Amino acid sequence: MVNMADLRVRLGPLTLKNPVMAAAGTFGFGAEYAPFFAPEKLGALVVNGLTLRPREGNPPPRLAETPAGMLNAIGLQNPGLKIFLEEELPRLKSGRVAVIVNIAGESEEEYVILARELSAVPGIIALEINLSCPNVKQGGLQFGTSAAAIAKLVSKVRQACALPLIVKLTPNVTDISELARAAESGGADILSLVNTLMGMVIDVDTGRPFLGNITGGLSGPAIRPVAVRMVYEVYRATGLPLIGMGGIMEVDDALQFMMAGARAVAVGTANFIDPYTVPRLISALDVYLDAKGFNGPENIIGAAHR
Amino acid sequence: MVNMADLRVRLGPLTLKNPVMAAAGTFGFGAEYAPFFAPEKLGALVVNGLTLRPREGNPPPRLAETPAGMLNAIGLQNPGLKIFLEEELPRLKSGRVAVIVNIAGESEEEYVILARELSAVPGIIALEINLSCPNVKQGGLQFGTSAAAIAKLVSKVRQACALPLIVKLTPNVTDISELARAAESGGADILSLVNTLMGMVIDVDTGRPFLGNITGGLSGPAIRPVAVRMVYEVYRATGLPLIGMGGIMEVDDALQFMMAGARAVAVGTANFIDPYTVPRLISALDVYLDAKGFNGPENIIGAAHR
Amino acid sequence: MLANARVLNLEKLTASDYLLLLEEPQFAVQASPGQFLHIRIKDSLAPFLRRPFSVAGAPPGKGVLQIIFRVVGKGTAVLSQAKRGTSLTCLGPLGKGFKPTPGLSPAVLLAGGMGVAPLLFLAHLLAKEQKKILLFYGVASITELLPLKRFLPPQVELHLATDDGTSGYRGPVTALLAEALQGGLKPGEMFACGPRPMLQAVAGQNRGWNFPLQVSLEERMACGLGACQGCAVKIRQGGESSYRMVCCDGPVFDGQEVIW
Amino acid sequence: MLANARVLNLEKLTASDYLLLLEEPQFAVQASPGQFLHIRIKDSLAPFLRRPFSVAGAPPGKGVLQIIFRVVGKGTAVLSQAKRGTSLTCLGPLGKGFKPTPGLSPAVLLAGGMGVAPLLFLAHLLAKEQKKILLFYGVASITELLPLKRFLPPQVELHLATDDGTSGYRGPVTALLAEALQGGLKPGEMFACGPRPMLQAVAGQNRGWNFPLQVSLEERMACGLGACQGCAVKIRQGGESSYRMVCCDGPVFDGQEVIW
Ligand SMILES: Cc1cc2nc3c(=O)[nH]c(=O)nc-3n(C[C@H](O)[C@H](O)[C@H](O)COP(=O)(O)OP(=O)(O)OC[C@H]3O[C@@H](n4cnc5c(N)ncnc54)[C@H](O)[C@@H]3O)c2cc1C
Ligand SMILES: Cc1cc2nc3c(=O)[nH]c(=O)nc-3n(C[C@H](O)[C@H](O)[C@H](O)COP(=O)(O)OP(=O)(O)OC[C@H]3O[C@@H](n4cnc5c(N)ncnc54)[C@H](O)[C@@H]3O)c2cc1C
Ligand SMILES: Cc1cc2nc3c(=O)[nH]c(=O)nc-3n(C[C@H](O)[C@H](O)[C@H](O)COP(=O)(O)O)c2cc1C
Ligand SMILES: Cc1cc2nc3c(=O)[nH]c(=O)nc-3n(C[C@H](O)[C@H](O)[C@H](O)COP(=O)(O)O)c2cc1C
Ligand code: FES
Ligand code: FES
From C60, C94, C128, give the residue that closes a domain: C94
Question: Taking CA atoms, what residue in B is nearest to A259?
Answer: B207
Q: What is the pLDDT of residues A185-217, one digit of tens each?
A: 999 999 999 999 999 999 999 999 999 999 999
Pick the ligand that lies closest to the CA of residue D115: 2
pLDDT over 60 at B140, yes or no: no
Decide if pLDDT at B21 tops 70. yes
- The CB of C53 under 6 Å from ligand 1? The reply is yes
Whether residue C149 has pLDDT greater than 80: yes
* Model confidence at A138: pLDDT above 50: no
CATH number of the domain encompassing residue C260: 2.10.240
My answer on whether D128 and D197 are in the same domain is: yes
| Average pLDDT score over chain D | 96
Q: Is residue B2 part of a domain?
A: no
Which CA distances in Å does A18 have to A108, A235, A279, D31?
Answer: 32, 20, 10, 54
Distances in Å between the Cα of D186 and the Cα atoms of D28, D105, D123, D152, D256 are 33, 9, 18, 22, 18
Measuring from each residue's beta carbon to the nearest atom of ligand 6, which residues come in under 6 Å?
A: D 221-224, 226-231, 245, 247
Please give the ipTM for the structure prediction: 0.96
pLDDT of the residue at B58 = 96
Domain count for chain D: 3
Percent of chain A past pLDDT 70, that is, above it, reads 95
- Residue A2 domain-assigned (yes or no): no
Q: Give domain status of residue C99, yes or no.
A: no
pLDDT greater than 50 at residue B1: no
Q: Is the pLDDT of residue B164 over 90?
A: yes
Lowest mean pLDDT among B121-125, B243-247, D53-57, D111-115: B121-125
Structural domain contains residue B81:
yes
Please tell me which residue, A94 or D221, carries the higher pLDDT value.
Answer: D221
What amino acid positions of A are annotated as catalytic residues?
133
Q: Is residue A4 part of a domain?
A: no
Length of chain C: 260
B76 to chain D: closest CA residue: D229
Is the CB of residue C74 below 6 angstroms from any atom belonging to ligand 1? yes
pLDDT digits (tens, 9 = 90+) for D20-41: 999 999 999 999 999 999 999 9
- E-strand stretches of chain C: 2-12, 17-23, 36-40, 51-54, 64-70, 87-94, 107-112, 133-139, 157-162, 169-170, 189-193, 213-216, 232-237, 240-245, 252-254
Those residues whose C-beta lies under 8 Å from the C-beta of residue D185, and which sit 6 or more positions away, are D106, D108, D134
Q: What is the CATH number of the domain that holds C166?
A: 3.40.50.80
Is the same domain home to D116 and D153? yes
Domain boundary among D33, D62, D94: D94
Nearest chain A Cα to C40, which residue? A273
Catalytically active residues of B, by annotation: 133
Out of A62, A63, A65, mutate this one to test ligand 1's pocket (max ligand atoms within 8 Å of CB): namely: A65
pLDDT tens-digit series, residues B72-119: 999 999 999 999 999 999 988 877 899 999 999 988 999 999 999 999
Using CB distances shorter than 6 Å, the residues near ligand 5 are C 221-224, 226-231, 245, 247
pLDDT band at B133 (very low <50, low <70, confident <90, very high): low
Residue A16 clears pLDDT 70, i.e. is over it:
yes
CB atoms within 10 A of CB D183: 7
Domain identity same for D205 and D229? no
Ligand 2 centroid–CA A73 distance in Å is 38
Report the CATH number at residue D83.
2.40.30.10
| Residue B138: per-residue pLDDT | 45
* Residue C179 covered by a domain: yes
Dump the DSSP string for B96-126. T--EEEEE--SSHHHHHHHHHHHHTSSS--E
- Is residue C102 assigned to a domain? no
Shared domain check, C57 and C143: no
Q: Using 50, 70 and 90 to split pLDDT, how confident is the model at A2? A: low
Does D196 lie in the same domain as D111? yes
Query: Is-contact B147 B131, C-beta < 8 A?
Result: no
pLDDT per residue over C200-243, tens digit each? 999 999 999 999 999 999 999 999 999 999 999 999 998 899 99
For helices B176-186 and B224-237, what crossing angle results, to 10°? 50
Nearest CA in chain B to A147: B174
Spell out the residues 6+ positions from residue B283 whose beta carbon is closer than 8 angstroms to its own: none
Residues D121 and D203 reside in one and the same domain: yes
Element (H, E) at A193: strand A190-193
Q: What is the mean pLDDT of residues A17-25?
A: 97
| Average pLDDT over every residue of C68-81 | 97
Single residue among D41, D72, D94 that ends a domain in this structure: D94
State chain B's mean pLDDT as an integer: 93
Q: Is the same domain home to C227 and C196?
A: no
pLDDT computed for residue A140 by the predictor: 47
User: Is D133 in contact with D127 (CB distance < 8 Å)?
Assistant: yes
pLDDT value of position A29:
87
Percent of chain C with pLDDT over 70: 100
The pLDDT mean for chain C works out to: 96
* Strand order across the C189-193 sheet: C169-170, C157-162, C133-139, C107-112, C189-193, C213-216, C252-254
Residue C177: partners with Cβ closer than 8 Å, 6 or more residues away: C108, C110, C136, C159, C202
Please report whether residue B199 resides in a domain: yes
- Whether pLDDT at B137 is above 90: no
Mean pLDDT confidence for A109-117: 95
The model's pLDDT over A224-263, given as tens digits with 9 standing for 90+, comes to 999 999 999 999 999 999 999 999 999 999 999 999 999 9
Place D158 in a pLDDT band, splitting at 50, 70 and 90: very high
Among protein residues, the one with the nearest Cα to ligand 1's atom 4 is C53
Residue A102 Cβ inside 6 Å of ligand 3? The answer reads yes
Q: Are residues A247 and A219 in contact, defined by beta-carbon separation less than 8 angstroms? A: yes
Q: Which CATH number does the domain housing residue B59 bear?
A: 3.20.20.70
Which 8-state DSSP code applies to residue A196?
P
> Where are the extended beta strands (E) located within chain D?
2-12, 17-23, 36-40, 51-54, 64-70, 87-94, 107-112, 133-139, 157-162, 169-170, 189-193, 213-216, 232-237, 240-245, 252-254
Output the pLDDT for position A3: 57
| Domain housing C8 | 2-94
Structurally, how many domains does chain B consist of?
1
Atom of ligand 3 nearest to the CA of A25: 5
My answer on whether C204 and C238 are in the same domain is no
D128 and D162 in a common domain = yes
- D46 touches C at CB < 8 Å: yes
Q: Which domain holds residue B150?
A: 9-305
For residue D46, the chain C residues in CB contact (below 8 A) are 44-46
Tell whether D44 lies on the interface with A, counting CB pairs under 8 A.
no
Same domain, C116 and C182: yes
C45 has a chain D CB within 8 A of its CB:
yes
D66-103 burial: b if 16+ Cβ within 10 Å, else e: bbbbbbeebbbebbbebeeeebbbbbbbbbbbbebeee
Residue D99 belongs to some domain of the structure? no
Complete edge-to-edge strand list for the sheet that includes strand D17-23: D51-54, D36-40, D87-94, D2-12, D17-23, D64-70
Residue B4 covered by a domain = no
Q: To test the ligand 2 pocket, which listed residue (D36, D45, D51, D54) has its Cβ within 8 A of the most ligand atoms?
A: D51
Q: What pLDDT band is residue B150 in, cutting at 50, 70 and 90?
A: very high
Chain A residues inside the 8 Å CB shell of D45: 67-68
Note the Cα C181 to chain centre separation in Å.
Answer: 23
Give the 3-state secondary structure of residue D6.
strand
pLDDT band at A137 (very low <50, low <70, confident <90, very high): low
D52 CA: nearest ligand 2 atom: 17
Query: Between C194 and A94, where is the model more confident?
Result: C194
Kindly tell me if the per-residue pLDDT of C64 is higher than 50.
yes
Q: What pLDDT, on the 0 to 100 scale, is given for residue B134?
A: 47
Identity of the residue numbered C165: G
Tell me the whole-structure pTM to 2 decimals.
Answer: 0.97
Pocket lining: C114 vs ligand 1, CB cutoff 6 Å: yes
